[in-house]
Amino acid sequence: MIESPQPPEKKLGIGALIRWTGTVVALGLMVWLLSRQGWDEIWADIQQIGLPLFLAAIGLLMGSRLAISLRWYALLRGAGEDISYL
């Protein structure tokens, strides 16, 4: 009887350990920075923006995300991947 080969065991390599450590450190720094913010000053600045400018900024942000997703779609289709846009 022929035995089927067992899949290799997944080990946490040094590269993965470094990536996870970097992620944890980055999240810790972000939490620390956010905890030191002057939220009253930030809120006052946000209130001064105005609705039309805020909506324009959101529209530009959404346009940017759409352009990036279209770029990835074109790159993947060009590489021969059969994917749908959605």
Tell me the mean pLDDT in the region 73-86.
86
Reply yes or no on whether the pLDDT at 23 is more than 60: yes
Show the tokens assigned to 46: 């946000």
Q: Which two tokens stand for residue 70?
A: 């279209």
Token digits for 59? 């529209």
- Structure token pair of residue 41: 């000053």
Res 47: pLDDT: 87
Q: Give pTM, 2 decimals.
A: 0.50
**Residue 73 clears pLDDT 80, i.e. is over it:** yes
